[in-house]
Structure 1
Amino acid sequence: MPERAPHVHADGTAPKGILRRRPERWLFTGIYGLVLASALVAALDVPGEEADPGQDALWVLLTALTSAAAHGYAHVIAQRAAGDGKAGPGRLRAVLAEWPLVAAVLPTVAMLLAALAGWWSEDTAADTALLLNTVCLFGLGVLAARAAGLSRLSACRAGAMDMLIGLVIIVADALIE
């Protein structure tokens, strides 16, 4: 049984701070966005083709926006199917609540735009984005586990498991190239 972190409240609530309001939703969509950004940057970085980091950045951003909208709308459909088909601002809120997915891809987009500006090559931008996203997966995994009340050691193990997703993408990218 995992140990509880000493800062977890007696009533079992998550600690205060950045993750105090619906941390599971923020973490889920943030991790999803990091995985999406990594997969896209790996897929768009095709060896032998002329690099176009501006177009790649646009694809990453548009895909994240579309995925966030689709995921939020899927929540609306699920609510409707559950019989809670109330109309109103709740539907828009469900879609807008997916903002962490889009926020998670912004560093990747920024790195690709830096390649467009000539600060580094697109290959370097893609490799750096893959590495950064993998490290961020570890960090979000640790945050999620700590918010759930796990000890530091258990949280690090959870973060390592999340980081494994990024490592799989990096290995797949290397093998496919």
Structure 2
Amino acid sequence: MNALSQRALFLQLVLCQMGAPYRWGAKGSRPDPHGPRLFDCSGLVTWCLHQVGGPDWRATHNTDRLWDECRPVERVEDLQPGDLVLYGRGGAATADGRPVTRADPDHVMVYVGAGVVVGASGGGSTTRTLEDAARSDAKVKPFARITYRSDVLGYRRPPFVS
């Protein structure tokens, strides 16, 4: 599979999950065989990436792995559909005053073009049931602006085959 088709399939798969419920720590599981898949933000990215022949990062499926292993994209103008937008802290102090010595991503979305990002959002560590997800509108959904959160940390390109 060439990089262009792998990227296109990845993006298509991400978009096909639109509306799937958010669950903290979920990476594409389907508790009910006839029900929807469940995702958290990095679980969506790592599950879709693996489905199209990318690396299997589902066991760790965290934003740190995506930040560390994916190639940096320096400028927002250079983003391509299928690239990742990561959010979090970079070099600031934590709430308790400890310094952050490296980038600390805590959320990831997939860039789809025209400034739009899609991903599993609206949940958090307390979103563990379908009822929790429904209460907080936590699901795979789009946002019209990359800066829907003010803490954009940076951009990464998944390791699509060359």
Note whether the superposition's TM-score is higher than 0.5: no
Could you tell me the TM-score, scaled by structure 1's length?
A: 0.26
Could you tell me the TM-score, scaled by structure 2's length?
A: 0.28
> Rg bigger for which structure?
1
Higher normalized helix content (fraction of residues): 1
Higher normalized strand content (fraction of residues): 2
